[in-house]
Structure 1
Amino acid sequence: MPLRLDVKRKLLARSDRVKCVDLHPVDTWLLAALYNGNVHIWNYETQVLVKSFEVCDVPVRAAKFVPRKSWVVTGSDDMHIRIFNYNTLERVHQFEAHSDYLRSLVVHPTLPYVITSSDDMLVKMWDWDNKWQMKQSFEGHTHYVMQIAINPKDNNTFATASLDKTVKVWQFGSNVPNFTLEGHEKGVNCVDYYHGGEKPYIISGADDHLVKIWDYQNKTCVQTLDGHAQNVSSVCFHPELPLIITGSEDSTVRLWHANTYRLETTLNYGLERVWCIQAQKGANTVAIGYDEGSVTLKLGREEPAVSMDASGKILWAKHSEIQQANLKTISAEESEAIQESN
């Protein structure tokens, strides 16, 4: 059954090339890291540029919010990590993290760690509670390391995508990768984990124009998505909807059903090549970065679809879970609570 998917564009902001996007978990903010060395923060509800600051005079390829510290962390082509307070725009700290361009960074969801990857083929973990000391270095890739993704079900493991055509999975405390996933014909640009409970899946996209879905327990490729006409630059399992989102240098974003792998829709906003996609946990907001700017979308309906069968049982979908209640056994107070939550 095809997904009934509403795609609403909330923001289209033209700018210099956008190499990385992030969404704030509380504020309606889109963070865009630009090739010209600047960082923009847009309010995608009001379409206002709320903050803008110059990081350096070379491309900023990686930037993330750290909401618990009110920070933006950036990584750029001058090999430096810089940390800014996004309320005051003051630079809190900076240091040289790698010996070549920084490609990607992720913030650990609970621990005071930032993990970075670089064209120097290394992945490094930094501890901000200990003056940004390097806690660990991960060696094993033989080409640029393009992206990192932390496993949402096990925050001690993470995956990396590299132009050496592989995806590697690592564990904190170990110097060697747990395993390597091989199957792409060309360099791998992007990687993400499936967030749901049942499938131990990783998704990757590469310069062979293909998207692959891997079972990381069996170390096998379970599906290949073939549809893009150019390098695949970004992939994402939507954390709330049964949806795979892929972006490519062919200027399109494709939405695939995460269970049937059917192509549901193709989006093209005329902003040239796609470089990055970020979907927000706990919401249906998606940010996309392009050569000529960034777009923020709302996917699906805010209101869940509700149906009632003859026996008085109500079914409704919340995120990708089906929830139910029986009208015959439910009290008036509970029924009002359900209506309000919907």
Structure 2
Amino acid sequence: MSVYGTMSHRDGGVQYKSLGAHITAVDCIKFIARKQWFVAGSSDGIHVQEEAIKKKKIQRFRARVSSVTSLAVHPTKPYVLSSSYGGLIKLWDWDKGWECITTFEGEHSDVVCQLAFNPNDTSSFASVSNDRTIKVWGLDSPKSHYTLSGHSDNVKCLDFFTRDDGQYLITGSVDNTAKIWDLQKKTCILTLEVFRSPVIYVFSHPNLPVLITGTRNGIIYLWSSTDFRLRGILNILRGADVMGLACLMESRRVVIGQSHAISIVDIDDEETIGSKGDFESSI
């Protein structure tokens, strides 16, 4: 695992440290800002790293699952959700020595690909799976509240967003579509079908009314979250899987993780259609 920081000039970024805590590949990683911890999941468990720049490892434990596929950090409570092969989801409490306090199982019939807490209702979260379903859960019960169905192939990614004070989900699938779900009506209200490749990452920009979708062939699509109109297309590294999307805090900049590269892109209010867009740096 490597830790990167950005520089003020356009030459790119600087790698601070390479952290060699794992003996197997890291499949997912989250940063807990209020604790200054990195939490990483791999096939040999969940690992916690404190003050990554100082390379000080505070604790390691192994979740009793075959492999960790996704992690989600609760915004206020000392909780981390993990998912794994076989449809298993676990809730961990780091204030209790990383005790597993709830197990959610028996509903997803295949790999759980991603988890996310609802930012407007932090007592609930959603999961997507290769069983082609989306499930919405509450922390008060090991059983899901309801299931959303509609994708015709594996569902790989999700994110929450708001529109006109309503709560929505965007999901991406191997069926080459992204879907918009109204969580009040519990139904799909729109299917985005412009893609020529599986949609493997979706992201709701926290500072702009923009939804971002990334595909397996490396194309980034920018959508309005108000009218769902396509606003732009970015082709920074065509053919390189989009592995992750994130926003720099209180910024219009988006970090795009692709196979063998990280790019930083400025998102403006105008439409951006082009082969590369306006990108700051590639690491």
- Quick check: TM above 0.5? yes
Q: For the Cα contact (< 8 Å) 2:166–2:184, is it kept in 1? A: no
How far did 1:67 drift? 1.5
Mapped pair 1:291 → 2:259: yes
Of the structure 1 ranges 197-206 and 181-190, higher mean CA displacement relative to structure 2 is found in 197-206
Tell me, what secondary structure is at the counterpart of 1:194? strand
Q: For the Cα contact (< 8 Å) 1:98–1:120, is it kept in 2? A: no
Mapped pair 1:246 → 2:209: no
Q: Please tell me the residue identity of whatever aligns with 1:163.
A: N
How far did 1:264 drift? 1.4
| Match of residue 43 from structure 2 | 77
| Match of residue 16 from structure 2 | 50
Root-mean-square deviation (Å): 1.7
Which of 210, 214, 220 aligns to 2:181? It is 214
Tell me, what secondary structure is at the counterpart of 1:58? coil
Mapped pair 1:65 → 2:28: no
| Match of residue 110 from structure 1 | 76
How far did 1:45 drift? 4.2
Mapped pair 1:179 → 2:142: no
Alignment: residue pair count: 264
Of the structure 1 ranges 269-278 and 211-220, higher mean CA displacement relative to structure 2 is found in 269-278
| Match of residue 61 from structure 2 | 95
Structure 2 residue runs of 5 or longer lacking an equivalent are: 270-283
How far did 1:260 drift? 2.1
Tell me, what secondary structure is at the counterpart of 2:188? strand
Tell me, what secondary structure is at the counterpart of 1:265? strand
Q: For the Cα contact (< 8 Å) 2:79–2:91, is it kept in 1? A: yes
How far apart, CA to CA, are the structure 1 residues paired with 2:162 and 2:7?
Answer: 25
197 and 87 in structure 1: CA distance in 2 versus 1, 3 angstrom threshold:
farther
Tell me, what secondary structure is at the counterpart of 1:209? coil
How far apart, CA to CA, are the structure 1 residues paired with 2:98 and 2:51?
Answer: 16
Report matched runs for 1:123-134 at 5 Å. Answer: 123-134=89-100
Tell me, what secondary structure is at the counterpart of 2:87? coil
Tell me the alpha carbon deviations over residues 271-302 of structure 1, each in whole angstroms, 9 at most, x when there is no partner.
Answer: 6111221234533221211112111222227x
How far apart, CA to CA, are the structure 1 residues paired with 2:83 and 2:68?
Answer: 6
42 and 52 in structure 1: CA distance in 2 versus 1, 3 angstrom threshold:
farther
How far did 1:121 drift? 1.3
Q: For the Cα contact (< 8 Å) 1:195–1:239, is it kept in 2? A: no
195 and 218 in structure 1: CA distance in 2 versus 1, 3 angstrom threshold:
closer
Tell me, what secondary structure is at the counterpart of 2:19? strand
Tell me the alpha carbon deviations over residues 164-210 of structure 1, each in whole angstroms, 9 at most, x when there is no partner.
Answer: 10110000020110000000000100010004561210110001010
- Name which one, 1 or 2, has greater alpha-carbon Rg: 1
How far did 1:137 drift? 1.0
For normalisation by structure 2, the TM-score amounts to: 0.88
| Match of residue 281 from structure 2 | none
| Match of residue 280 from structure 2 | none
How far apart, CA to CA, are the structure 2 residues paired with 1:204 and 1:44?
Answer: 33
Give the share of equivalent positions with the same residue, in percent: 34
How far apart, CA to CA, are the structure 1 residues paired with 2:114 and 2:153?
Answer: 15
Q: For the Cα contact (< 8 Å) 2:3–2:53, is it kept in 1? A: no
How far apart, CA to CA, are the structure 2 residues paired with 1:56 and 1:193?
Answer: 31
Report matched runs for 1:1-342 at 5 Å. Answer: 38-43=1-6, 45=8, 47-139=13-105, 140-195=107-162, 198-270=165-237, 272-280=240-248, 282-300=250-268
Of the structure 1 ranges 182-191 and 52-61, higher mean CA displacement relative to structure 2 is found in 52-61
For normalisation by structure 1, the TM-score amounts to: 0.73
Q: For the Cα contact (< 8 Å) 1:156–1:171, is it kept in 2? A: yes
Q: For the Cα contact (< 8 Å) 2:163–2:226, is it kept in 1? A: no
How far did 1:153 drift? 0.4
Q: Please tell me the residue identity of whatever aligns with 2:241.
A: R
Q: For the Cα contact (< 8 Å) 1:161–1:190, is it kept in 2? A: yes
73 and 160 in structure 1: CA distance in 2 versus 1, 3 angstrom threshold:
same
